Amino acid sequence: MICAGIDIGSRSIELVALEDGRVAVSRRVDTTYDPIAQCTRLLNGISYSRLIATGYGRELLTQRFPATAITEIQAYALGARKLYSDCRLILDIGGQDTKAIALSELGDVRKFEMNDRCAAGTGKFLEVMAASFQIPLKDFGSFALRGGKGIAISSMCAVFAETEVTSLIARAKRPEDVALAVHKSVVRRSVSMLKRVSVIGPLLFAGGVALNPCVRNLLAEEVSCEVVVPDAPESVGALGAALYATKTASIKNKRLAL
């Protein structure tokens, strides 16, 4: 029995399919302008018994596929605990939102906070900043690691922050120093969210921004608990959705057996 989970994000879509509790398929594509077509590509060739969707486009998927939707908070809680059983805190920085989730000792969601109304502090913000530096996004974190401290980005708005960055560069500030300040502003906002939900770790860092080495380093410096980054941080939500699919499918089969 194959159970699949799909996480439709603003920048990318991840699919994880589990068979007998093990990952049988793991795929990723860009969301593009047609997320349903991309989901069709991801699911092509997979014969699944149950499909669970999460992410901002989850309801869209349920209108076109025989799928059930769960919230991102549910999915990330399940996925994080599967990857790291001691996890008590989750930070997910995605393309257009940031989530901070506190878990109980049993893995239940205790409290969460989500920033989905402002691009500042998200992957989109880093993408825009990298473009202003004319540096590929995948290299932006390594570039910032060469920077020195002493510069701060004070603007809390992504648009104003971009203007502030342009002004700093025009004043002959070292680009690496400005890039580091950009990353510090992202981490500062994220840590503030974390502190409002809990200070009890360990912390699992998820989302595409977890692949950024500068953000990882700065986050580890700012929090007082262990920070764990899984091998595929962008797939934590899809894994959680697949685990939920497996759990509910098992319950349904038991009821049928009775």
What confidence tens digit (pLDDT) does each residue in 82-96 have?
A: 999 999 999 999 988
Contacts of 152 (CB under 8 A, 6+ apart): 181, 184, 185
In this model, does residue 256 exceed pLDDT 50?
no
Q: What local confidence, expressed as pLDDT, does residue 141 receive?
A: 97
Going by their DSSP bridges, the two strands 22-30 and 109-115 should be labelled as unpaired
Average pLDDT of 122-130? 90
Q: How far apart are CA 169 and CA 80, in angstroms?
A: 39
What's the pLDDT score for residue 156?
66
Token pair 């509790």 in the structure block, residue: 21
Check whether 139 has a pLDDT greater than 80: yes
Q: What is the pLDDT of residue 258?
A: 44
In the chain, ranges of CATH 3.30.420.40 domains: 1-84+233-258, 85-229
What architecture is domain 85-229?
2-Layer Sandwich (3.30)
Do 109 and 81 form a contact (C-beta atoms < 8 A)? no
Is the pLDDT at 165 greater than 90, yes or no?
A: no
Question: Could you report the per-residue pLDDT of 33-65, keeping only the tens digit for each?
Answer: 999 999 999 999 999 999 999 999 999 999 999
pLDDT of 153 reads 83
Across the range 180-191, mean pLDDT stands at 93
Mean pLDDT (whole number) for 162-168: 83
**Mean pLDDT, range 199-208, rounded to an integer:** 96
Q: Please return the burial class of 137, using the count of CB atoms within 10 Å of its CB with bins 0-12, 13-18 and 19+.
A: middle
Cα–Cα distance, 63 to 41 (Å, whole number): 17
- Measuring CA to CA, which residue among 220, 212, 188, 241 is closest to residue 80? 241
Q: How confident is the model at residue 132 (pLDDT cuts 50, 70, 90)?
A: confident
Q: Please count the other Cβ atoms lying within 10 Å of the Cβ belonging to residue 195.
A: 13
> What is the CATH code for 1-84+233-258?
3.30.420.40
pLDDT, mean over the chain: 91
Residue 257, pLDDT > 60, answer no
The mean per-residue pLDDT over the stretch 232-247 comes to 97
Q: What pLDDT is recorded for position 215? A: 97
Which residues are paired to 23 by β-bridges? 18
